[in-house]
Amino acid sequence: MDADEVVSQMESLRHEDRDWRGGRVFSLVYTAGDDVADLLSRASGLYTAENALNTLVFPSLGWMQHDIVTITTGLLGGDALPEDERSGVRGYLTSGGTESLLQATRTARDWGRSIRGIDQPNMVLATSAHAAFDKGAHWFDVEARRVPVGPDGAADVDAMAEAMDDRTVLVVGSAPSYPQGVIDPIPQLGALAGERGVLCHVDACLGGFILPFLVTLGHITKPWDLSVPGVTSISADLHKYGYASKGVSVILYRNAELGRLQPFVTSNWLGGLYGSPAMAGTRPAGPIAAGWAVLHYLGEDGYLRLAAATHQAATAIKSCIDSTPGLVLRGKPDATVFAFGGQDGPGGIDTFALGEALADRGGWFFDRQSPPDSLHATVHAGHERIADELCADMVAVAGELRASGARATDRSTTYGTV
Ligand SMILES: *Cc1c(COP(=O)(O)O)cnc(C)c1O
C-alpha cells in the first residue's frame, strides 16, 4: 500500500473509536488543547527511531530523563526534604503507572528479603488501591492484603494496622485513589509504616501532576507527598495530568539504598553489560521526549492554568450531581476525579441505566465500576467548556429515570480489557 492509503485505512478503522476530542469521554484520555497536541507530535516525531536502552549512544535521552526526574522530585515534595535527605532521592522513568506500581512492589519484596530476611512477604492496602498492585502481587509473589475503605472512601488506618504482621514489607496509600478520587490519610499511613519499620508507597499516579498545583491554588490542604514522614516511595504519571503522550510515569525513592534496588544489571552472558532501570530493555524514546517537551512548554504557569480549569469543571459537575434529585457522589472525592451514581430505594435511579441514558442523550462516556455500582469521571482541562451542557443532560436524564424506574440489563463493568 502507499503511505496515503495506509493512513486512510487507519482513519477508517478508527470510525468506531470513541471521539474524545469534543470532551465527551471521561476516562483514558487527558487533553490540554491543540497546541499541546501539536507539540507532543513534533517531539515524538523527532524520536521515533532512538532507543533509551543505551543513553551513552543517545545522551539527550539520559539528560531528558534526568531533568524529568529532577522536576518531578520538586513537584512531589522532594525539595521540601532537609538537604542531606534531598540529595538521597532517586528516581526512574517507567512506561506508566502500572509499571511504577510493579516496581514499588518488587522493590519492597527485595528490600524485605535482603534487609529483613522475609521470604513470604505481604503488603497491606485499601480496597481502593489500584488493580496494578494485585498484578504486582501476582507477578512477584507478594500477598496482597486488601482492607475495606471507610464510608468516605478513604483507607482505614486502624484496620490496615490490624492486617499487618511481621511479614509485612509495604503499606500503600493513594493520592488520590482511582475509583473514588479520595486522598488517603497519608501522614497516618506513613507513621504506621515508620512505627513498624516497613516501607510506604504513595500511589500519586493520578494526582502527581495536578495536586501540587491544586495545593498552590488553595484547593487541597491534605499532606500527600514524599515529604510526609514515613513515605519511602511515590509514583506519578506524566501521561495523565502531566498531559504527556502515553508511556511515561516517574517513580521516586526517598533514599539511595532503596532506589538502588530497582535497576537490574548483569554481564552474565556474551553480549556485554546490560543495565536497565525498568521492565523493558529497548525503551521507546518518543514518550520521554514528549514528556520533557510538555513539562517545559507548559511550565508552572501552564499547569496552574490547566489545574484551575480542571478544578472548575470538576466542581461544577460535582455540584450538579449533588443538587440533582436521585444522583449522588460516591465517597468524598478530594480532587478532580470522582465516582457517582443513582440513589437507592424508592424514587431512586439505577446507576447503569443512568450511564446508558447519558450515552444515548449526549454521547457522554463514563466507565462503569463496582462495588458499589458507579460511573467514573476523570475530569481534565478539556472538560471546562462542556460542564454546563453535561449538567443539563444529567438533570434531564435523572428526571426521566426517576419517573420510569428503568433498570439496565447489562450489569458488566470494564476498566481494562485483554
Ligand atoms: C492510572 C492509575 C494507575 C495505573 O496507571 P497506568 O498508566 O494506567 O498503568 C495506577 N494508580 C492510579 C491511582 C491510577 O489512576
Confidence of residue 225 (pLDDT cuts 50, 70, 90): very high
- Ligand 1 centroid–CA 206 distance in Å is 6
- Ligand 1 centroid–CA 235 distance in Å is 9
Please choose from 134, 182, 206 the residue to mutate so as to test ligand 1's pocket, defined by most ligand atoms within 8 A of CB. 206
In ligand 1, the atom with minimum distance to the C-alpha of 204 is 13
Mean pLDDT calculated for residue range 406-416: 94
Residues 101-127 as b/e (b if ≥16 CB within 10 A, e otherwise) read bbbbbbbbbbbbeeeeebeebbbbbbe
In ligand 1, the atom with minimum distance to the C-alpha of 246 is 7
- Ligand 1 centroid–CA 205 distance in Å is 5
State what percent of residues in the chain have pLDDT above 70. Answer: 100
What pLDDT does 31 receive? 93
- Ligand 1 centroid–CA 97 distance in Å is 4
In angstroms, the CA 36 to CA 272 distance is 40
What pLDDT does 266 receive? 97
pLDDT tens-digit series, residues 45-57: 999 999 999 999 9
Domains of the chain: 42-295 (3.40.640.10), 299-404 (3.90.1150.10)
In ligand 1, the atom with minimum distance to the C-alpha of 337 is 15
Q: Which residues line ligand 1 (CB under 6 A)?
A: 96-98, 101, 130, 132, 174, 178, 203, 205-206, 237, 249
Global pTM?
0.97
What pLDDT does 346 receive? 82
What pLDDT does 327 receive? 97
Query: Looking up cell 535521552, which residue turns up?
Result: 61
In ligand 1, the atom with minimum distance to the C-alpha of 237 is 7
Lowest mean pLDDT among 15-24, 48-57, 196-205: 15-24
Q: Whose CA is nearest to atom 3 of ligand 1?
A: 97
| Whole-number average pLDDT of the chain | 97
Mean pLDDT calculated for residue range 213-219: 98
What pLDDT does 207 receive? 98
pLDDT tens-digit series, residues 150-169: 999 999 999 999 999 999 99
User: Taking 90 as the threshold, does the pLDDT of residue 231 lie above it?
Assistant: yes
User: Taking 90 as the threshold, does the pLDDT of residue 222 lie above it?
Assistant: yes
User: Taking 90 as the threshold, does the pLDDT of residue 22 lie above it?
Assistant: no
What pLDDT does 345 receive? 83
pLDDT tens-digit series, residues 256-302: 999 999 999 999 999 999 999 999 999 999 999 999 999 999 999 99
User: Taking 90 as the threshold, does the pLDDT of residue 21 lie above it?
Assistant: no
In ligand 1, the atom with minimum distance to the C-alpha of 129 is 13
pLDDT tens-digit series, residues 343-356: 988 889 999 999 99
In ligand 1, the atom with minimum distance to the C-alpha of 239 is 7
Q: Whose CA is nearest to atom 5 of ligand 1?
A: 97
Q: Taking phi first (over 0 means left), then psi (-120 to 50 degrees means alpha), and beta for anything else, what does residue 174 get?
A: beta
Cis-peptide into 121, omega within 30 deg? no
- Ligand 1 centroid–CA 204 distance in Å is 9
